[in-house]
Amino acid sequence: MSDRDTEELRYRRFLNGDMESFEQLVIEYKDALIYFISRYVKDMAAAEDLAQDTFVEVLVHKERYNFKTSFKTYLFTIGRNKAVDYIRKYERVSLVEEYPDMASDEKLLEERIVKEEEKRELYEALGGLKWEYQRVLYLIDLEDLPYAQAAEIMDKSESQIKILIFRARKALRKELEKRSAKGAAKGR
């Protein structure tokens, strides 16, 4: 059974009153949705609230989902709309950084710090890109969405998404190289 079949089955059970199926969908997509929304609003607390609002909307208006797209696409579209509404309403930008938990084993701690540093560098490089590039890279490369789903979420055609992801990856590569060159120059 594919992921889409599983999510469709869960949603149909939810439509029939099985709240445990809805809870499974929340657990499955909560973290990804929060991160996705945080890329819009730049505020982790607001992203968590908006993700919760997204799930509440699904819960209250469960009959709106028509199974034409994957549930994830439907969910992320609602999340995007909530983020855009939030930005229009508050027009504020803040960034809440997350710090890694401290591990007791020094080697594990060192590995975690290196991974966090690499992740931070990647996110900083992403932040240096055009907003559209950031979104398409997140959807395609980090969330592994098919082009068709990313196109629907971003309200673009599939061919526009293919061009956009090509340009975004090229821009990200240049941004990472530029940052690497600056880091090497500082190290001299």
Convert the pLDDT of each residue in 141-186 to its tens digit. Answer: 888 889 999 999 899 999 999 999 999 999 988 988 887 777 656 6
**Host H or E run for residue 142:** none
Distance CA 178, CA 125 (A): 9
Instruction: Cite the residue boundaries of each domain of the chain with CATH code 1.10.1740.10.
Output: 3-90
pLDDT for 108: 58
Instruction: Cite the residue boundaries of each domain of the chain with CATH code 1.10.10.10.
Output: 106-186
Distance CA 11, CA 8 (A): 5
The total number of residues written for the chain in this structure: 188
CATH class of this structure's domain 3-90: mainly alpha
pLDDT for 164: 95
CATH architecture of the domain formed by 106-186: Orthogonal Bundle (1.10)
The pLDDT of residue 62 is above 70 = yes
22-36, 82-96, 123-137, range with greatest mean pLDDT: 22-36
Residue 92 DSSP class: -
- The structure's pTM equals 0.53
Distance CA 29, CA 12 (A): 17
pLDDT above 70 as % of the chain: 81
- Spatial CB neighbours of 94, under 8 Å, sequence gap ≥ 6: 42, 43
Q: CB neighbours (10 Å) of residue 75?
A: 27
